[in-house]
Amino acid sequence: MNWDDLRFFLVLAQEGTLSGAARRLRKEHTTVARRVEALEQAVGTKLFDRMPAGWRLTEDGQQLVPLAERVEVDALAFERMANSSEIARGVVRISVPPVAGRILFAPRLAALLAEHKGLEFELIGSAHLVNLARREADVAIRMVNPTEPGLVAQKLAELGVGLYGAHDYVATVPEENWELCGYDDTSYDLAKTEWARRSLGRNIVCRLRANDTASVQSFVAAGLGVAVLPRYLGDTDPRLTLVREDEKGESREPIWIVVHPDMRRSPRVRMVMNALIEAAREIAEEFQL
Protein backbone atom coordinates (compact mmCIF):
# COMPACT_ATOMS: atom_id res chain seq x y z
CA MET A 1 0.00 0.00 0.00
CA ASN A 2 1.14 3.54 -0.81
CA TRP A 3 0.37 5.42 2.41
CA ASP A 4 0.19 8.73 0.52
CA ASP A 5 -2.94 7.37 -1.18
CA LEU A 6 -4.69 7.85 2.17
CA ARG A 7 -4.34 11.61 1.73
CA PHE A 8 -6.17 11.45 -1.60
CA PHE A 9 -8.83 9.22 -0.01
CA LEU A 10 -9.43 11.65 2.87
CA VAL A 11 -9.60 14.78 0.72
CA LEU A 12 -12.02 13.14 -1.72
CA ALA A 13 -14.14 11.95 1.22
CA GLN A 14 -14.29 15.53 2.52
CA GLU A 15 -14.88 17.24 -0.83
CA GLY A 16 -17.21 14.69 -2.39
CA THR A 17 -16.16 15.44 -5.98
CA LEU A 18 -13.06 14.80 -8.05
CA SER A 19 -12.89 18.42 -9.14
CA GLY A 20 -13.06 19.69 -5.55
CA ALA A 21 -10.41 17.25 -4.36
CA ALA A 22 -8.18 18.06 -7.33
CA ARG A 23 -8.33 21.80 -6.58
CA ARG A 24 -7.44 21.26 -2.94
CA LEU A 25 -4.64 18.82 -3.68
CA ARG A 26 -3.50 20.85 -6.72
CA LYS A 27 -3.50 17.71 -8.85
CA GLU A 28 -5.33 16.62 -11.99
CA HIS A 29 -8.69 14.99 -11.30
CA THR A 30 -7.47 11.91 -13.17
CA THR A 31 -4.60 11.64 -10.68
CA VAL A 32 -7.02 11.76 -7.76
CA ALA A 33 -9.17 9.04 -9.28
CA ARG A 34 -6.13 6.88 -10.04
CA ARG A 35 -4.71 7.17 -6.53
CA VAL A 36 -8.05 6.33 -4.87
CA GLU A 37 -8.57 3.38 -7.18
CA ALA A 38 -5.08 2.15 -6.31
CA LEU A 39 -6.00 2.33 -2.62
CA GLU A 40 -9.20 0.38 -3.28
CA GLN A 41 -7.18 -2.32 -4.99
CA ALA A 42 -4.65 -2.39 -2.14
CA VAL A 43 -7.29 -2.84 0.58
CA GLY A 44 -9.46 -5.09 -1.55
CA THR A 45 -12.73 -3.21 -1.15
CA LYS A 46 -14.74 -0.47 -2.83
CA LEU A 47 -14.48 2.81 -0.92
CA PHE A 48 -16.63 5.09 -3.07
CA ASP A 49 -19.77 4.83 -5.15
CA ARG A 50 -19.30 6.81 -8.37
CA MET A 51 -22.45 8.92 -8.58
CA PRO A 52 -23.43 11.50 -11.24
CA ALA A 53 -23.23 14.29 -8.64
CA GLY A 54 -19.94 13.13 -7.10
CA TRP A 55 -18.20 10.31 -5.26
CA ARG A 56 -20.07 9.00 -2.21
CA LEU A 57 -18.40 6.92 0.49
CA THR A 58 -19.52 3.32 0.73
CA GLU A 59 -20.17 1.79 4.13
CA ASP A 60 -16.65 0.32 4.11
CA GLY A 61 -15.26 3.70 3.12
CA GLN A 62 -17.07 5.43 6.00
CA GLN A 63 -15.62 2.96 8.49
CA LEU A 64 -12.07 3.57 7.22
CA VAL A 65 -12.21 7.39 7.43
CA PRO A 66 -11.45 7.62 11.21
CA LEU A 67 -8.58 5.15 10.85
CA ALA A 68 -7.14 7.06 7.90
CA GLU A 69 -7.40 10.32 9.84
CA ARG A 70 -5.39 8.87 12.72
CA VAL A 71 -2.72 7.60 10.34
CA GLU A 72 -2.56 11.02 8.69
CA VAL A 73 -2.16 12.81 12.03
CA ASP A 74 0.75 10.56 13.00
CA ALA A 75 2.39 10.87 9.58
CA LEU A 76 2.16 14.66 9.58
CA ALA A 77 3.51 14.87 13.13
CA PHE A 78 6.46 12.69 12.07
CA GLU A 79 7.11 14.93 9.06
CA ARG A 80 6.91 18.15 11.09
CA MET A 81 9.30 16.81 13.73
CA ALA A 82 11.75 15.69 11.05
CA ASN A 83 11.58 19.06 9.33
CA SER A 84 12.12 20.98 12.56
CA SER A 85 15.77 19.86 12.71
CA GLU A 86 16.67 20.78 9.13
CA ILE A 87 18.94 23.64 8.17
CA ALA A 88 17.51 26.60 6.27
CA ARG A 89 17.06 24.88 2.93
CA GLY A 90 14.26 23.13 1.10
CA VAL A 91 10.70 24.01 0.11
CA VAL A 92 8.49 26.33 2.17
CA ARG A 93 4.80 26.41 1.24
CA ILE A 94 3.41 29.89 1.88
CA SER A 95 -0.32 30.67 1.76
CA VAL A 96 -1.07 34.35 1.17
CA PRO A 97 -4.06 36.18 -0.37
CA PRO A 98 -3.20 36.95 -4.03
CA VAL A 99 -3.34 40.75 -3.98
CA ALA A 100 -1.67 41.21 -0.59
CA GLY A 101 0.96 38.67 -1.56
CA ARG A 102 1.81 40.43 -4.79
CA ILE A 103 1.91 43.97 -3.42
CA LEU A 104 2.87 43.71 0.25
CA PHE A 105 4.92 40.54 0.66
CA ALA A 106 6.42 39.49 -2.69
CA PRO A 107 9.36 41.97 -2.66
CA ARG A 108 10.59 40.80 0.75
CA LEU A 109 10.17 37.11 -0.16
CA ALA A 110 12.00 37.68 -3.45
CA ALA A 111 14.93 39.24 -1.58
CA LEU A 112 15.06 36.29 0.82
CA LEU A 113 15.03 33.83 -2.06
CA ALA A 114 17.89 35.67 -3.75
CA GLU A 115 19.97 35.61 -0.56
CA HIS A 116 19.50 31.90 0.23
CA LYS A 117 20.05 29.62 -2.73
CA GLY A 118 19.01 26.54 -0.78
CA LEU A 119 15.46 27.79 -0.29
CA GLU A 120 12.49 27.12 -2.54
CA PHE A 121 9.07 28.76 -2.21
CA GLU A 122 5.70 27.41 -3.22
CA LEU A 123 3.19 30.27 -3.04
CA ILE A 124 -0.48 29.38 -2.58
CA GLY A 125 -2.30 32.52 -3.69
CA SER A 126 -5.89 31.78 -2.76
CA ALA A 127 -8.62 33.16 -0.57
CA HIS A 128 -9.20 29.57 0.58
CA LEU A 129 -8.02 29.02 4.16
CA VAL A 130 -5.48 26.21 3.97
CA ASN A 131 -5.30 23.57 6.69
CA LEU A 132 -1.91 23.99 8.36
CA ALA A 133 -2.34 20.87 10.48
CA ARG A 134 -2.60 18.85 7.26
CA ARG A 135 0.50 20.52 5.80
CA GLU A 136 -1.44 22.21 3.00
CA ALA A 137 0.98 25.06 3.77
CA ASP A 138 3.84 25.62 6.20
CA VAL A 139 2.98 29.22 7.06
CA ALA A 140 -0.01 31.38 6.18
CA ILE A 141 -0.90 35.06 5.95
CA ARG A 142 -4.58 35.60 6.69
CA MET A 143 -6.89 38.59 6.66
CA VAL A 144 -9.24 37.00 9.21
CA ASN A 145 -8.79 36.03 12.84
CA PRO A 146 -7.55 32.40 13.03
CA THR A 147 -9.91 30.17 14.98
CA GLU A 148 -8.41 26.69 14.57
CA PRO A 149 -7.10 25.22 17.84
CA GLY A 150 -3.44 24.37 18.22
CA LEU A 151 -2.01 27.00 15.87
CA VAL A 152 0.32 29.89 16.68
CA ALA A 153 -0.96 33.25 15.39
CA GLN A 154 0.36 36.80 15.56
CA LYS A 155 -1.37 39.96 14.35
CA LEU A 156 1.03 41.90 12.12
CA ALA A 157 -0.97 45.01 11.26
CA GLU A 158 -4.41 46.44 10.62
CA LEU A 159 -5.03 47.79 7.13
CA GLY A 160 -7.32 50.71 6.46
CA VAL A 161 -10.01 50.67 3.78
CA GLY A 162 -11.86 53.28 1.77
CA LEU A 163 -14.70 53.65 -0.70
CA TYR A 164 -13.41 54.18 -4.24
CA GLY A 165 -14.79 54.92 -7.68
CA ALA A 166 -13.37 55.64 -11.12
CA HIS A 167 -12.74 59.35 -11.76
CA ASP A 168 -15.36 59.68 -14.52
CA TYR A 169 -17.92 57.61 -12.62
CA VAL A 170 -17.65 59.78 -9.51
CA ALA A 171 -17.69 62.97 -11.58
CA THR A 172 -20.66 62.14 -13.83
CA VAL A 173 -22.94 59.77 -11.89
CA PRO A 174 -24.97 61.41 -9.11
CA GLU A 175 -24.09 59.95 -5.73
CA GLU A 176 -27.66 58.81 -5.13
CA ASN A 177 -27.34 56.60 -8.25
CA TRP A 178 -24.07 54.95 -7.30
CA GLU A 179 -24.01 51.15 -7.25
CA LEU A 180 -21.73 48.92 -5.23
CA CYS A 181 -19.32 46.31 -6.55
CA GLY A 182 -19.22 43.69 -3.82
CA TYR A 183 -17.64 40.40 -2.81
CA ASP A 184 -19.20 36.96 -2.91
CA ASP A 185 -17.84 35.82 0.45
CA THR A 186 -20.97 36.33 2.53
CA SER A 187 -19.50 37.49 5.85
CA TYR A 188 -16.86 39.69 4.22
CA ASP A 189 -19.33 41.17 1.76
CA LEU A 190 -21.90 41.89 4.47
CA ALA A 191 -19.34 43.73 6.58
CA LYS A 192 -18.06 45.85 3.69
CA THR A 193 -21.55 46.57 2.36
CA GLU A 194 -22.74 47.66 5.80
CA TRP A 195 -19.77 50.02 6.16
CA ALA A 196 -20.44 51.48 2.69
CA ARG A 197 -24.08 52.08 3.66
CA ARG A 198 -23.08 53.81 6.88
CA SER A 199 -20.52 55.93 5.05
CA LEU A 200 -23.04 57.05 2.42
CA GLY A 201 -25.92 57.32 4.86
CA ARG A 202 -28.24 55.19 2.70
CA ASN A 203 -28.75 51.78 1.17
CA ILE A 204 -26.81 51.09 -2.01
CA VAL A 205 -27.68 48.64 -4.77
CA CYS A 206 -25.18 45.83 -5.40
CA ARG A 207 -25.65 44.00 -8.73
CA LEU A 208 -22.09 42.77 -9.22
CA ARG A 209 -19.93 40.60 -6.96
CA ALA A 210 -16.58 38.87 -7.36
CA ASN A 211 -14.62 36.46 -5.21
CA ASP A 212 -11.32 38.32 -5.27
CA THR A 213 -10.21 41.88 -4.57
CA ALA A 214 -8.37 42.32 -7.86
CA SER A 215 -11.54 41.65 -9.86
CA VAL A 216 -13.54 44.11 -7.75
CA GLN A 217 -10.82 46.70 -8.34
CA SER A 218 -11.00 46.11 -12.10
CA PHE A 219 -14.79 46.46 -12.14
CA VAL A 220 -14.59 49.76 -10.27
CA ALA A 221 -11.84 51.07 -12.55
CA ALA A 222 -14.06 50.22 -15.52
CA GLY A 223 -16.76 52.51 -14.15
CA LEU A 224 -19.23 49.86 -12.98
CA GLY A 225 -19.73 51.31 -9.51
CA VAL A 226 -17.91 52.03 -6.27
CA ALA A 227 -16.29 49.52 -3.94
CA VAL A 228 -14.66 49.11 -0.56
CA LEU A 229 -10.96 48.46 -1.16
CA PRO A 230 -7.88 48.33 1.09
CA ARG A 231 -6.03 51.65 1.10
CA TYR A 232 -2.77 50.09 -0.13
CA LEU A 233 -4.64 49.07 -3.27
CA GLY A 234 -7.01 51.95 -3.89
CA ASP A 235 -4.65 54.82 -3.02
CA THR A 236 -2.01 53.58 -5.46
CA ASP A 237 -4.38 53.07 -8.41
CA PRO A 238 -4.31 56.23 -10.58
CA ARG A 239 -7.67 55.28 -12.11
CA LEU A 240 -9.52 55.60 -8.80
CA THR A 241 -10.78 58.37 -6.54
CA LEU A 242 -11.16 57.96 -2.78
CA VAL A 243 -14.71 59.10 -2.01
CA ARG A 244 -15.02 58.00 1.64
CA GLU A 245 -12.35 57.30 4.26
CA ASP A 246 -12.70 54.89 7.15
CA GLU A 247 -11.74 57.61 9.58
CA LYS A 248 -13.00 55.73 12.65
CA GLY A 249 -11.30 52.46 11.72
CA GLU A 250 -14.65 50.65 11.64
CA SER A 251 -13.72 48.36 8.78
CA ARG A 252 -10.00 47.79 9.18
CA GLU A 253 -8.61 44.50 7.89
CA PRO A 254 -6.22 42.65 10.21
CA ILE A 255 -3.20 40.78 8.88
CA TRP A 256 -2.29 37.61 10.77
CA ILE A 257 0.63 35.26 10.38
CA VAL A 258 -0.26 31.68 11.32
CA VAL A 259 1.92 28.59 11.71
CA HIS A 260 1.73 25.15 13.25
CA PRO A 261 3.86 25.06 16.44
CA ASP A 262 5.90 22.11 15.16
CA MET A 263 6.81 23.91 11.93
CA ARG A 264 7.81 27.07 13.80
CA ARG A 265 10.97 25.22 14.89
CA SER A 266 12.07 24.67 11.28
CA PRO A 267 14.92 27.09 10.38
CA ARG A 268 13.60 27.66 6.86
CA VAL A 269 10.08 28.36 8.13
CA ARG A 270 11.38 30.72 10.81
CA MET A 271 13.36 32.57 8.15
CA VAL A 272 10.24 33.01 6.01
CA MET A 273 8.19 34.10 9.01
CA ASN A 274 10.75 36.78 9.86
CA ALA A 275 10.63 38.05 6.27
CA LEU A 276 6.83 38.27 6.34
CA ILE A 277 6.88 40.07 9.69
CA GLU A 278 9.43 42.59 8.36
CA ALA A 279 7.33 43.13 5.25
CA ALA A 280 4.31 43.95 7.43
CA ARG A 281 6.36 46.46 9.40
CA GLU A 282 7.24 48.26 6.18
CA ILE A 283 3.61 48.80 5.13
CA ALA A 284 3.21 52.56 4.76
CA GLU A 285 1.57 54.20 7.75
CA GLU A 286 -1.12 55.82 5.62
CA PHE A 287 -2.31 52.40 4.47
CA GLN A 288 -3.04 51.45 8.07
CA LEU A 289 -5.42 54.35 8.64
Give the CA distances from residue 144 to residues 62, 111, 192, 210, 273, in Å, rounded to whole numbers and listed in that order: 33, 27, 14, 18, 18
Query: What pLDDT does 167 receive?
Result: 97
Summary mean pLDDT of the chain: 86
Please check the confidence at residue 230 and state whether its pLDDT lies above 70.
Answer: yes
Query: What pLDDT does 85 receive?
Result: 45
Distance CA 197, CA 203 (A): 5
Amino acid at 160: G
Query: What pLDDT does 162 receive?
Result: 94
For the segment 108-124, the average pLDDT, to the nearest whole number, is 88
Over the stretch 13-31, which tens digit does the pLDDT of each residue have? 989 898 888 888 888 888 9
Q: Which residues pair with residue 227 across a beta bridge?
A: 164
Confidence band (pLDDT; 50, 70, 90) for 194?
very high
Q: Which domains are present in the chain?
A: 5-83 (1.10.10.10), 90-157+253-284 (3.40.190.10), 161-245 (3.40.190.10)
Distance CA 180, CA 166 (A): 12
Please check the confidence at residue 80 and state whether its pLDDT lies above 80.
Answer: no
Distance CA 110, CA 122 (A): 12
